[in-house]
Structure 1
Amino acid sequence: MAVKDFALPDLGEGLTESELVSWKVAVGEEVRLNQIIAEVETAKALVELPAPYDGRVSRLYVEPGVTVAVGEPIVAFEVGAPEGATGAGGPEVQEAAPATAAAEAPEPTLVGYGARADSGSRPVRRPRPGLSGPAPDRTPEPALAGSSAPAAVTAPAASVLTAERPLAAPPVRKLARERGIDLATIRGTGERGHITRQDLDRASAPAAVTAPSPGGATAPATLPSAADEVRIPIRGVRKATADAMVRSAAVPQATVFLTVDVTPTMELIGRLRAHPASSEARPGLLAVVGKACTIAIARTPELNSRWDDENQEIVQYRRVHLGIAAATPRGLLVPVVRDAQSLSLADLAVAIRELAETARAGRTAPSALTGGTMTITNVGVFGVDAGTPLLTPGEAAILALGATRRQPWEHDGAIALRDVMTLALSFDHRIVDGEQASRFLADLGRILSDPASVIAMV
C-alpha cells in the first residue's frame, strides 16, 4: 500500500498560502474521492478541500490555526491494495512509497482546482518545528484523580508534535521567543498538554513590588502585565485588508463630497417594490446607486480605469465590474458584480443581494473577489453620515454612501422634511482630475435627486 502526500493546492487568484481552519477527517479514517477533508481560509474566502484519492488517512501534518504555503503537504493517505495482499508467490508486504516518489506522480484532478501540472519537481516545503513524527494520538487524556479544575498534563509520546519539544502552536512559540521564555520550563494547561497564551501570561506576569507610601511605609504596587493585553493574530481577511490598505495609501488620493436630496429615489424604490414585476428583486438604494454609477461612468469613463505603472499607461475599461463592500464575520469582503453596465435594475439588485449573502456566509469563491473596476461601500447602514473611503488597489474610484436621514431641506422654495444623503467619492488623482470626479459625482447626484433625468443622459 503506497503512502501519498497531499499538498495544499493552488486555489487560484495568486494566493500563496492559506490557514487550516478545521479537519473533517481523522487519522485512520477511510475517505472517498472528493469527500470534504478540510476547510482552509485564504485571504479572500473559506474553501472546502476535497480528498484527491480513495484511501485511508495516515497522517495529518498540520494542526488547525496554522498557515500553510501552497505546495506544502498537509495530509498523507494510504492508497492502493491493502498491505499483506496475497499474490502468486504467497503473502507479500508492500512498503510505503517514499513521499518524493508520490509527489512525482500526477495527482487526480481536484474539483474546482484543475489538474496539477506534471512538472517533475516538488514545491519547496517550509519546515515547521514540531510537525514531524508519527500520526497524532487522538485518544482523550484521562482526568487527574481528585481534581475538578483543568490541570497540566503530559504530552503522549506518540504525538504529532514530538515528545522532545514542548507542545505549543506556532503563534505561542513566537510569543515565547519575544518574551524570552523557555517553553521547556512551562507546564501546559491546554488540550493534551499544549502550552497556551494564558500559560505564558502567568509565567511572564511580574511579581508585586513595593512602593513607598506618603507616610514612609511601603505598600505593594502592581505593574501592568501581559495578562492585561489581548493579542489577535493578523491573518486571513484581516491580513489581506491590511496589505491592501498599505498599497492603497501609496496612491495619491483625493475625495469630493456631495449632499443630495434623495427623496424622489426613495419614493421610486417604494413604488418598484410594490410593483408585481419587481417584487422578487426588491431593488434597494444600493442597487439604484449601482445602476446610476454605470450611467455616470458612461459619461466619465476615466473613473473606470487603472494605472499601469510598469508600462506607464492608463488602462480604461469598456465594461463595469462593480465591487460591493460587505461587512462579514470574517472581515471586509468586496465581491464583484460582473458586467454591471449590462444588467437591468432588477437583475443588479438580485446579483448584489446574492453576493452579499454568500459573502456573509463565508462561501464566496476567491475568483468572485477580484477583477473589480470600481467599488461602492455603504457606511450609512452603520449610522455614519460620511467618510473618506480608501481605494481598492487597482481601481481609480470608490464611492461611499452615507446614512439617509429625514431632515429639513429646501424644496420648491420652502423648507420641508426630506430624505438627505451624503456621497463621498475618493479617486486616484494620477488618473482622475478634480473636474472629472466632480462631474461624475454631480451626474450621480442628479440621477438620485431626479431619477427621470436619466432620459436626458442616455
Structure 2
Amino acid sequence: MPEYKQFLLADTAEGLTEAEILNVRVQPGDEVTVNQIVVEVETAKAAVELPIPWAGVITEVLAEPGATVEVGAPLLTVDVDPAGSSASPAQAVNGSSAPAPAAAEEEMKPLVGYGSKTTEARRRPRRAAPSAAPPAATPAAPPAAAPAPAPAAARGGYVPLAKPPVRKLAKDLGVDLSTLTGSADGGIITREDVERAARPAAPAAPAAPAAPAPVAGSRERRVPVKGVRKATAQAMVSSAFTAPHVTEFLTIDVTPMMELRERLKKHPDFAGVKLTPLAFAAKAVCMAVKRTPDVNATWDEAAGEIVYKDYVHLGIAAATPRGLVVPKIRDADAMSLPELARALDELTTTAREGKTPPAEMVNGTITITNVGVFGVDTGTPIINPGEAAILAFGAIKDAPWVVDGQLAVRKVLQLSLSFDHRLVDGQQGSQFLADVGALLADPAMAITY
C-alpha cells in the first residue's frame, strides 16, 4: 500500500510565522531523493532553500509561486512507497487508511522548529489528471476536508510557463497568466508580456477596500509590504520608539590608514585578500569594544538586566536587491585583520546574492553601516533591535586639513555613532567613538590597546 506524506512549511530556526513561495522545483510525477531541494521560500530575513527529508514521487503540489503561506501549511504531497497500491493521496489522508491524527502530525515534521498551524492552500492539479469521478469504493471526504478547487485555467492540466519573478509581477498587476501566450522560446511568458497585457487591462481588484485599484497608464505603482522590507520597517519602528537614541559625530584624518593599506596589499599575508577601509573599521570597532563594553551589551527589559557580551558578533549592514539585511561576522573580535577582510568579502557577496542563511542574521552585538560606499559623508543610523550601538562609516574624501600648523590635502573620513542612552552614557559613547577614530587615524595606536 502506498504511503503518502505531506511536506510542510516549517520554522527555519528564526521564529517566522509565514513565508512567500519563490519557486517550486518539482512537479507531480517527479522522483525526489532525500535532502533534494524542492522549494525556495522568502522569509522576513532571507531566501531559503528547503530540502525534502524523504525519497519518493511527488503526487501533488499544493503551493504556487508568489503565494504567502503560514508555518505548518502543506507544500507538497509525496508518495514515499511508489511501488504500493494505486490508492489516491486523498484516500491516504482522508480515507479509512489514514493514520491517526497524532501519528500523521508526527510523520509530517520536515524540519526542526515545526509549527502546528494549518493553512488552506490552493492545489495545483496533476499534469495528466483525469476528469473522471472518484472510484465508488472510496469513502466520501467530509465537506470541510475537501481540497480547494483548482483555478479555472488550470483544471484542464494547463499551467502557464513563467518564472517566479514574472508570476509575482503578474500577481501585482492583476494579470491572469493563463490568458497570455509567451513570446520566449517554448512559450515561456516574459516580463514584457505581462507589462504589455497590463497596459490596456481593466483595473485589478484592490488589495484592500480603502486602496484604489491600479489604473492602466498610471504613474504610480503599488507593491505589497512583505519580506525583508516588512521586517526592516517593523524593526526600525520598534527600535526608534523603544531605545532613546543619541548620535555623535567625529571627523578624522585617515591618511596614515590609507598609506598602511597600500603597504599591506603587498604583504604576503594579504595575498588574494580584498583589503577595504571597512576591514580597518571592523578591526577598530572590535578593539574599541574591549575598552567600552557598554556598547556591546543588550537591555533585557523583561528581566530588568543589562547583558554584557564577552564576544563580538559584528553586524554589517548590506544593501541587496531584496532590501537592507544585516548578516553577522561571528566572533569578529577573535579574528586578525586578514581574516576580517576575507569574512567581509564573503559576507557581502553572499548577501547580495540573497543566499545568507537566516541563522546568520540574528543575535548580533554591534553593527557597522557603510554609507560611504554611496559617497555619503555620514548619517544618523537607527540601532538594530537588541543592540546598544551602530557605527556609520562615511566616504573617504580629499579635503583640506591642518597638519603641523600647515594646510594640506588629506584623506578625511566622518564617523557617526548612534547608541542607546539606557545602556550607554555620553561619556562612554564619546570614549568609544574617540577610540575608533584614533585607531583609524593612527593605526599604530593599536599596540597601546
Question: TM-score per shorter chain, which class?
Answer: 0.7 to 0.9
Instruction: Map 1:99-248 to 2 at 5 A.
Output: 101=99, 104-105=103-104, 106-107=106-107, 113-114=111-112, 123-128=116-121, 131-132=122-123, 134-135=125-126, 155-158=153-156, 189-190=179-180, 202-204=201-203, 225=215, 227-228=217-218, 229-248=220-239
Structure 1: gaps of 5 or more residues = 86-91, 139-152, 162-168, 177-182, 206-223
Q: What's the TM-score, normalizing by structure 2? A: 0.79
Q: How does 1:43-442 map to 2 (within 5 A)?
A: 43-84=44-85, 96-98=91-93, 101=99, 104-105=103-104, 106-107=106-107, 113-114=111-112, 123-128=116-121, 131-132=122-123, 134-135=125-126, 155-158=153-156, 189-190=179-180, 202-204=201-203, 225=215, 227-228=217-218, 229-250=220-241, 251-442=243-434
Distance apart, 1:25 and its partner CA = 0.9
**Aligned residue pair count:** 394
Counterparts of 1:400 and 1:269, CA distance in 2: 20
1:210-239 Cα deviation digits (max 9, x unpaired): xxxxxxxxxxxxxx9464121222222122
Alpha-carbon offset, residue 334 of structure 1: 1.0
Distance 1:171 1:69 in 2: 22
Deviation at 1:272, TM superposition (A): 0.9
CA distance in 2, matches of 1:418, 1:266: 10
Determine the C-alpha separation between the residues in 2 that align with 1:401 and 1:329: 21
Aligned 8 A contact 2:61 2:125 in 1: no
Alpha carbons of structure 1 residues 449 and 95: separation in structure 2 relative to 1, 3 Å: closer
2:13 equivalent in structure 1:
12
> What amino acid does structure 2 have at the position aligned with 1:66?
A
Q: Is the 8 A contact 1:133 1:160 kept in 2?
A: no
Residue 123 of structure 1: CA displacement?
2.0
| Aligned counterparts of 1:328 and 1:170: Cα–Cα separation in 2 | 19
Compared CA separation, residues 156 and 45, structure 1 to 2 (3 A): closer
Counterpart contact for 1:5–1:102, Cα < 8 Å: no
Aligned partners of 2:19, 2:280: CA distance in 1, in Å? 36
CA–CA separation in structure 2 for the residues paired with 1:64 and 1:102:
31
Looking at structure 1, the residues matched to 293 and 283 of structure 2 have their Cα atoms a distance apart, in angstroms, of 15
Larger Rg: 1
Q: Deviations along 1:75-111, whole A, 9 cap, x unmatched?
A: 11122153448xxxxxx9998411673873444886x
The aligned amino acid for 1:429 is H
The one-letter amino acid of 1:248's match is S
| Alpha carbons 1:4, 1:102 under 8 Å: kept | no
Paired residue secondary structure (1:274): coil
Amino acid at match of 1:35: Q
Matched residue SS, 1:155? helix
- Could you tell me how far 1:64 is from its partner in structure 2? 0.2
Is this contact kept in 2: 1:296–1:443, CA < 8 A?
Answer: yes
Distance 1:442 1:64, change over 3 A: same
Contact 1:253/1:429 (<8 A) preserved? yes
Say if 1:278 and 1:204 are closer, same or farther in 2 by CA, change over 3 A: closer
The alignment partner of 2:440 has SS state of helix
Alpha carbons of structure 1 residues 108 and 75: separation in structure 2 relative to 1, 3 Å: closer
* Distance in 1 between residues matched to 2:272 and 2:171, nearest whole Å: 53
Matched residue SS, 2:275: coil
Q: Secondary structure at the match of 1:296?
A: helix
Q: Kindly tell me: are residues 30 and 376 of structure 1, through their superposed partners in 2, closer, same or farther at Cα, counting changes over 3 Å?
A: same
Pair 11,410 (structure 1): closer, same or farther in 2 beyond 3 Å: same
SS of aligned partner of 1:267: helix
The SS at the match of 2:153 is coil
- Whether contact under 8 Å (2:56, 2:82) holds in the other structure is no
The alpha-carbon distance between structure 1 residues 433 and 450, as it changes in their structure 2 partners (threshold 3 A), is same
Would you say the 8 A contact 2:5–2:108 is kept in 1? no
Whether contact under 8 Å (1:132, 1:160) holds in the other structure is no
Identity in percent: 46
User: Gaps spanning 5+ residues in structure 2: where?
Assistant: 130-150, 160-166, 183-188, 205-213
Give the C-alpha shift of residue 132 in structure 1. Answer: 4.6
CA distance in 1, matches of 2:287, 2:177: 65
SS at match of 2:99: helix
Q: One-letter code of the match for 2:63?
A: V
Moved more, 444-453 or 229-238: 229-238
Give the Cα separation in 1 of the matches to 2:386 and 2:370: 20
TM-superposed CA distance for 1:199, in Å, is 5.7
> Cα offset for 1:174?
9.9
The amino acid that maps onto 2:117 is V
Assess, with a 3 A threshold, how the Cα gap between structure 1 residues 173 and 279 changes in structure 2: closer, same or farther. Answer: closer
- SS at the partner of 1:264? helix
1:282 Cα shift? 3.8
User: Which amino acid counterpart does residue 237 of structure 1 have in structure 2?
Assistant: V
Q: Considering only aligned residues, what root-mean-square deviation do their CA atoms show, in Å?
A: 3.4
In 2, Cα distance between equivalents of 1:421 and 1:317: 29
What SS class does the counterpart of residue 101 from structure 1 fall into? coil
Query: What SS does the corresponding residue of 2:428 show, helix, strand or coil?
Result: helix
Kindly state the Cα deviation for residue 187 of structure 1 after the two structures are TM-superposed: 11
Aligned partners of 2:50, 2:100: CA distance in 1, in Å? 19
Query: Which whole-Å CA distance do the structure 2 matches of 1:273 and 1:172 have between them?
Result: 49
- AA at the equivalent of 1:416: A
> Could you state the TM-score of these two structures normalised by the residue count of structure 1?
0.77
Q: State the alpha-carbon separation in 1 of the partners of residues 88 and 3 from structure 2.
A: 11
